[in-house]
A and B are shown apart, each in its own frame.
Chain A
Amino acid sequence: MAEYNAMELMICCAARLLEDGKTVAVGTGAPCAAAMLAQRTTSPNLVIFFEAGGVAPLLPTMPISVGDSRTFYRGLMATSMADVMETCQRGLMDYTFLGGAQIDAYGNLNSSLIGDDYTKPKVRLPGSGGANDLASFCWRILVVTNHDRRRFVEKVDFLTTPGYLTGPGAREQAGLPPGTGPYRVITDLAVLGYHERTKRMEVHSLHPGVDLEQVKAATGFDLGVREPLATTTPPTDEELRILRNEVDPHRYIIGR
């Protein structure tokens, strides 16, 4: 079995979740790599959207900006941000990938600020961008992130982007489209999902060589476990070959 690093494993896990014939709204970085890998392995008919207006590109290289010309290279449409977002709002977008500085047990994300004073934050972060919109509209929200206590917190400093908010029924109560919500979190330690009834985050599989205590120690909230707890399938030689040679040959995302 080939050697691989944590980022390569995370990208492979994310790629395997993207079913053929579905739609995905991606950003730059690991999510984009995952979508490109999925297209070249299990899901050749996965349709990629970028929020600035790029639709169904044949990505030649990794984009640097969600709006740069790679995002509609040999695409089927170069349109507006509103058009892409409204495609999501109508219910046509299956997956989106999001990230943030903080995530809580319900999958709520913070990408706005660190600190408790809105007018004078300790750290000002970018804000929602399109994340809040995508998390409100897309059927399944995926998060790819590193796993540590600074990031996996009991309470986010600012709830930028909705997960399950305060728990079961809260999204619907707030008026968000029913049937949408957080789906999987892929970290450098594990693949996590959400308990069907409580909507709290739980571990689905541990990456090879990682034990449950390690994951719990890296999480700032009480973490559930889905039984039977599985071990993440490592990247196959084929996945690694495509990822390294075709998806990210310059190793911008997967590193050296």
Chain B
Amino acid sequence: MHTGAQGKGRLFTDPSADQARSFFASKRRALVDKLTNVQDAVARLVANGDYLAIGGFGSDRIPTALLHEILRQEKQDLGLAGHTATHDFEILCAGNLMGRGQTLNRVDIAYVVGLEARGLSPHARRVMQSGTVQCTEWTNYALAVRFKAAAMGVPFLPLRSMLGTDTFHYSAAKTIDCPFTNEKLVAVPALYPDCALIHVHEADRYGNCRIRGTSVADFDVARAAKKLIITCERLIPHEEFRRDPTRTVIPFYCVDAVCEVPFGSYPGNMPYEYFSDESHLRQWLNAEKDVETFRQFLDKYIYGTRDFAEYLQMCGGLPRMQELRRQELLL
């Protein structure tokens, strides 16, 4: 197969299918109890230097509690797949340039720094303009395809975007000619994250998961990841999965830890459960404008809280969650 142009970006993860197989050969796949708490899951399964993938869509169905805990435990030198990474990215960036080392040191960028219609994050911009984080450019679909290749257990897949652009030029993709039709394609390398963090609606203690609403890239992210931590809105009986297996989106053998975290996507949206807390997201964005204000904000909401339940309490507790549920249900 003829290889043509090549992006000059760095490839942060090994796309080798055989390397992945040798890891998965020893991954535990037994139906065993994986129930634990957020603190333990992060301490045990997120190592300094790991490359992370985060489920959901930036401010929708995000594993907020795990991200906060990564800050609290001051994990260092993490990599990230940034496919529409918005509030999740904002949280991880809070571990950079704030006197607690460097949480992020490399990012595959499809969408970072912005919070969609809410504007740009001042602190994420400071981090990404400082030259201290290595970057490679991609697109949302390219990252989805990279996860899909990994989930398939192959080293690359072709797609037809990125061609002719600087996005390609600063990526680590290559152009190839189709062996059947000669059409020019972009080959993107499989992305096997060291650890993925996904928030779901329902899970059992073994890690079987149900997701309602859009799955974004999580079907493939869950299968591509070497380690996978699940947080769920609700633990449900194992028997529920036995009764209706068609609804299982992520199977137990992909999962390493399960933590029940009610309102776990807060301040993000959780489909059918609660809407995003726009005023808290605005408060976070405003606090970032000034470094000292942001430091106090983080001390109050993240470093000064023991766990996610305390954070929720500080953000208005159950009455606020009920208000967001009414917003979600359009009541």
Is the CB–CB distance between B131 and A120 below 8 Å?
yes
Bound Cα distance from A171 to B171, whole angstroms: 19
Interface residues on A, range: 35 or more
Judging by beta carbons under 8 Å apart, are A122 and B129 in contact? yes
Cβ distance A70 to chain B, nearest Cβ, rounded Å: 9
Q: Interface code B110-151, partner A: CB below 8 Å = 1, 0 otherwise?
A: 111110111010001100111100010111111011001000
Interface size on B, residues (CB 8 A): 68
A82 touches B145 (CB 8 A): yes
A71-115: CB near B (< 8 Å → 1, else 0) gives 110000011111001000100000000000000000010001000
Known: A52-B84, A128-B111, A128-B137. A159 touches B167 (CB 8 A): yes
> Is B162 at the interface (CB under 8 A from chain A)?
yes
CB distance from B109 to the nearest CB of A (A): 5
The contact of B141 among A85, A126, A174, by CB within 8 Å, is A85
Contacts of A159 in B (CB 8 A): 164-167
CA distance A44 to B205 in the complex (A): 46
Stretch from A160-168, A210-218, A224-232 at the B interface: A160-168
B161 lies within 8 A of A137 (CB): yes
Q: Which of B60, B114, B144, B165 contacts A82 (CB 8 A)?
A: B144
Q: Is the interface of B mostly helix, strand, loop or mixed?
A: loop
Q: Is the CB of B214 within 8 A of A65?
A: no
Q: A67-B57, A120-B131, A132-B162 are in contact. Are A81 and B144 (CB under 8 A)?
A: yes
In the assembled complex, the Cα of A129 lies from the Cα of B132 at a distance in Å of 22
Q: Are A121 and B167 in contact (CB under 8 A)?
A: no
Does A179 have its Cβ within 8 Å of any Cβ on chain B?
Answer: no
Per-residue interface assignment for chain B, residues 201 to 223, with 1 indicating a CB less than 8 Å from any chain A CB and 0 otherwise: 00000000000111111111000
Among residues of B, the one whose C-beta sits closest to the C-beta of A80 is B215
B160 near A175 (CB under 8 angstroms)? Answer: yes
Q: Which 5 pairs between the two chains have the least Cβ-Cβ distance?
A: A175-B184, A67-B57, A174-B164, A53-B214, A126-B114
Subset of 18 A-B contacts with CB under 8 Å: A51-B140, A64-B276, A65-B57, A65-B86, A67-B56, A67-B61, A69-B271, A69-B328, A78-B213, A81-B57, A81-B144, A85-B140, A112-B166, A119-B131, A123-B129, A127-B167, A136-B161, A175-B163
Interface residues of A (CB under 8 A from B): 27-29, 51-54, 60-61, 64-69, 71-72, 78-82, 85, 89, 108, 112, 118-133, 135-137, 158-162, 165, 170-171, 173-177
